[in-house]
Amino acid sequence: MEYIFEYEFEVRDYECDIQGIVNNANYQHYMEHARHRFIQNFGLDFAELTKENIILVVTKAELQYKKSLKSNDKFVCRMNIGKQGIRYIFYEDIYRLPDNELCTKGRFEIVSLIDGKLGLSEKLEKSLPFMKMV
């Protein structure tokens, strides 16, 4: 998969649980933060979107856990975005650094509510570089 954006993180100890590895749910937190930075990178601002009554909602989240991150690890979330009908699909894969080991694959379906109704936002259509979906 080709990536068009990436964001780096480091593990914080409090994100690790009893087994000394990052808790499963925390990867969803990492990926949410990466999505927010992704959106900003393409000139969109959430505060502005909200004022214009454009709300982005996650309807589905799929995460595949391959290898665990642990205390002191650094990693990067590499991303791309596609579109299926009125759904935006975010691909977010987490690789450990510096060895680039794939740790977690994420796929998120997101819809936009314009004035409370499902629909495509012109602003998003213009700003985000959707890849062709197979």
Under the rule (CB under 8 A), what is the footprint of a copy of itself? 12-14, 16-20, 23-26, 28-29, 32-33, 36, 46, 55, 57-65, 71
* Eight-state DSSP code of residue 132: P
Shortest distance, CB of residue 25 to a copy of itself, whole angstroms?
4
Shortest distance, CB of residue 116 to a copy of itself, whole angstroms?
14
Distance CA 84, CA 89 (A): 7
12: Cβ–Cβ under 8 A, 6 or more apart, which residues?
none
Of 22 and 81, which has the nearer Cβ to a copy of itself? 22
Of 59 and 100, which has the nearer Cβ to a copy of itself? 59
Distance CA 95, CA 70 (A): 13
Shortest distance, CB of residue 28 to a copy of itself, whole angstroms?
4
Of 12 and 126, which has the nearer Cβ to a copy of itself? 12
DSSP E strands, the chain: 5-10, 54-65, 74-84, 87-97, 102-114, 117-118
Identity of the residue numbered 17: D
User: Does residue 23 contact residue 88 with C-beta atoms inside 8 Å?
Assistant: no
Of 35 and 96, which has the nearer Cβ to a copy of itself? 35
Shortest distance, CB of residue 30 to a copy of itself, whole angstroms?
9
